[in-house]
Amino acid sequence: MKKKKIFILLPDGVGLRNFAFTSFVEIGKQKGWEVVFWNQTSFDLSELGFKEIRLTGNPRAKTDLLKRAKINAELDHFTDKFREPVYQTYKFPSSNIGLKKTVKNGIVSFYKEKYKGEKGLHKLRNKLKASEKKGPLYKHCKEILEKERPDYVFCTNQRPVTAIGPLTAAEDLGIPTGTFIFSWDNLPKATMVVETDHYFVWSEYMKNELQKYYPFIPAENIHITGSPQFEPHFDESLRKSREVFFKENNLDLRKDYLCFSGDDVTTCPDDHRYLQDMAEAVENLNQEGHKLGIIFRRSPVDLSGRYDKVLEKYSEIITPIAPKWKKAGDNWNAILPTKADLELQVNTILHSKAVVNLASSMVFDFAIFDKPCLYLNYEVDNKQDNDWNPRKVYNFIHFRSMPSHNSVIWLNSKEEIEAKLKLALNDTSQIVSEAKHWFEKINLQPAEKASERIWESIDGLTNNRLPRPPLSDSQ
């Protein structure tokens, strides 16, 4: 019997962690699939022993402008439809420095105003695909698909404009398609750039979100699977002993460590100040007789020097352990994860007592290991950006999924950090229990079975040989 063939479309590097560095490919092979990565990244997947077809070329400039217009138009539509101004905070301000940027912004504004509301967005979705069909990337993709004839094209990320051409080519050839919704916060942000036959989501909660924001997607085309990103936490082979991990990373075996998980500059412009506040608190606790240190894991996409002075001043307390990501370009999405970083992250969590950060999903990673998360929730003095404050971040829609305010320990001022760190080092079973309830709401359990559930869904779709379902009236 001929094997079924799947193309796993990697439009950017964020899907590597979920689908190249986990057991996802191996599970597919065991189910009888020929797995081929349709790779638009600079990462050489052949180094991992995977089959890949390199896909080069860029989307049309017009398509990117239409994408920007669609996102802004959707956020305006969500604002009006749900009477909720928070959607406007998801917009990124565009620079008007230079004639070229001014012209582009003018075009985006024109399309945004022209294609308002449900009917306008219906036309804008069509225009995105129509634009790409005129470009060389679409034609190249169609040639590959006509030659290879995969049974399914699975996109690892719904956000990149680079995925529109490949998926539209598959649609035109009658090849079924699906996309994975990459992150727990993506849907309210209007990051649904691609259209596919089927959608793979983390949970019932996310399925309801998808139907709320995109009511034209039939419920039967949405598959609840969980996210593979948490699977490495359950892989015992990745775990190292305390002695080995400490030796590899110059940690002091006499100390207990707290992890400070950094954010990017946009999410938290004052992150280095928070790290300093935490270091001062740890210094005071150590003077009281505690033996504590801080592991600093910066955001992989933050390559700035803003932490340097703090790291130098508190070198006896803070040990930086940089994520093992690979810089393959100048843009944030050209900084790619590596398989080695999965092991590093797992052991950082395993050998830390708790994590401190601002609004990160690391709360779920630590909850898996029965460890608490402390959320920064105060403004520093002389902050970098007067328009920014942490309450803006916690007001985002995805934090409304938190079933209990006690799912984390809140750091509401610099002065209470010491007391809250003491709390985190003692009995936090109730806090961890609430965090786990939150995780269960966000991600289908058992979390380590996400890859298997995705394959079961794809198997069912292709085995049934159902006719290609209509996605929406925009097709």
The full DSSP string for 275-337 is: HHHHHHHHHHHHHTT--EEEEEE--TT---STTHHHHHHTTTTEEE-----EE-SSSGGGEE-
Query: pLDDT tens, 386-410?
Result: 889 999 999 999 999 999 999 999 9
Q: Are 181 and 436 in contact (CB under 8 A)?
A: no
- Tell the residue number behind the tokens 């944030």, with chain if given: 332
Q: Is residue 469 scored above 50 in pLDDT?
A: no
Within this chain, domains 4-59+135-227+448-464 and 232-442 share the same CATH topology: yes
Q: Is residue 293 scored above 60 in pLDDT?
A: yes
Rg (C-alpha) for the chain, rounded Å, is 23
- Tell how strand 326-327 and strand 335-336 pair up: antiparallel
- The C-alpha angle with vertex 74 and arms to 69 and 75, in degrees rounded to 5, equals 100
| pLDDT value for 464 | 64
For the domain 4-59+135-227+448-464, what is the CATH code?
Answer: 3.40.50.2000
The full DSSP string for 406-427 is: GGSEEE-SGGGHHHHHHHHHS-
- Average pLDDT over every residue of 169-193: 97
- Average pLDDT over every residue of 461-472: 54
Among 74-78, 308-312, 428-432, 466-470, whose mean pLDDT is lowest? 466-470
Q: Is residue 207 scored above 80 in pLDDT?
A: yes
Q: Are 153 and 175 in contact (CB under 8 A)?
A: yes
- pTM equals 0.94
- Residue 463's contacts (CB-CB under 8 Å, 6 or more residues apart) are none
Q: Is residue 124 scored above 60 in pLDDT?
A: yes
For the domain 232-442, what is the CATH code?
Answer: 3.40.50.2000
- Average pLDDT over every residue of 410-421: 97
- Average pLDDT over every residue of 287-292: 97
Ordered by start, the domain boundaries in the chain are 4-59+135-227+448-464, 61-129, 232-442
Own/partner contacts of 460-464, CB < 8 Å, gap of 24 or more, are 461/152, 461/176, 461/178, 461/198, 462/4, 462/151, 462/152, 462/176
Query: pLDDT tens, 339-390?
Result: 999 999 999 999 999 999 999 999 999 999 999 999 999 999 888 888 899 9
Mean pLDDT score of the chain, rounded to an integer?
94
